[in-house]
A and B are shown apart, each in its own frame.
Chain A
């Protein structure tokens, strides 16, 4: 599908019509805090390995349906991973190897 550049992007929602505010909140899970911690560390070390603007750019360029479906920190870890690949900190190859290893680690741990 063509990306429509003549209307505002889907993350730019200020002033649009929307429903009632559900006063929800949850205690952040450890994995969510880890994601947050990763960003804080990567953007504050010297030299920094990614920037906050890169985080936002990655999140904002998610397709609208993915943006809506993913949870807040899911968007963050997606964008952080993408930025680290772009910046040459991680390669897709090592990431796919690691991901496989981690997934099988937890699969075998299940009873």
Chain B
């Protein structure tokens, strides 16, 4: 699993071949010809998209781990708290749900693909798959097991079904033995999947 902003087709300049690729070019060029958008607008929007990835969410999580006051405001009013960190999340409502020894949270969008993209970037394909969307709300524990996450029966599993207007982000539990780490070192431990809730944050002292 990897995420990066370039890929084979872009870098090798492979020409479009499918109907929908031609359609994208056609619509884009027509809108530009009509003066609705400019080429630069589109390039900037793509650049902005590429600048957003899970490291932003990880930054938020690490701050919440080291700063109890920030954590409190994050759980109460995530958009304002995140804004105070200098991150822009747009007009969409965001709710941060906290994992504790008693509760494990998982996010899904059963109807489509809603995702906290301002803090995690674009969602992975499996998040948008029929299998994940169907099963996450029905049998979350077996879904979690498929991601290698074994949640004890004593722990409540809460599944949050996102909508176009309300997105969720999981605040994972801070792993044991990380008391000596700096905020940046903590952020480096926090991976995308732990903020979706399919995994937990791991730390092994070397």
- Shortest distance in angstroms between A63's beta carbon and chain B's nearest beta carbon? 16
Number of interface residues, chain A, beta carbon within 8 A: 59
Q: How far is the CA of A45 from the CA of B3 in the complex (A)?
A: 29
| Chain B hits for A73, CB < 8 A | 20
Asked if B188 lies at the interface with its beta carbon under 8 angstroms from chain A, I say no
Contact partner of A15 among B1, B42, B137, B146, CB < 8 A?
Answer: B137
- Shortest distance in angstroms between B81's beta carbon and chain A's nearest beta carbon? 23
| Chain A hits for B131, CB < 8 A | 18-22
Indicate if the CB atoms of A25 and B31 lie closer than 8 Å: no
Indicate if the CB atoms of B46 and A81 lie closer than 8 Å: no
B11-37 interface with A by 8 A CB criterion: 15-16, 18, 20-31, 34, 36-37
Q: How far is the CA of A94 from the CA of B204 in the complex (A)?
A: 60
Number of interface residues, chain B, beta carbon within 8 A: 58
Asked if B77 lies at the interface with its beta carbon under 8 angstroms from chain A, I say no
Contact partner of B112 among A18, A42, A56, A68, CB < 8 A?
Answer: A56
Residue of B with least CB distance to A52? B164
A21 and B20 in contact, given A84-B27, A102-B25 (Cβ under 8 angstroms): no
| Chain B hits for A21, CB < 8 A | 126, 129, 131-132, 135, 143, 146-147
| Chain B hits for A33, CB < 8 A | 46, 49-50
Indicate if the CB atoms of B130 and A13 lie closer than 8 Å: yes
A77 and B42 in contact, given A27-B3, A30-B10 (Cβ under 8 angstroms): no
Q: How far is the CA of A22 from the CA of B146 in the complex (A)?
A: 9
Asked if B133 lies at the interface with its beta carbon under 8 angstroms from chain A, I say yes
- Shortest distance in angstroms between A55's beta carbon and chain B's nearest beta carbon? 9
Residue of B with least CB distance to A33? B46
Nearest 3 CB-CB pairs, A to B?
Answer: A14-B110, A37-B45, A25-B124
- Measuring CB to CB, which residues of chain B are less than 8 angstroms from any residue of chain A? 1-7, 9-10, 15-16, 18, 20-31, 34, 36-37, 41-42, 45-46, 49-50, 108, 110-113, 122, 124-126, 128-138, 143, 146-147, 161, 164
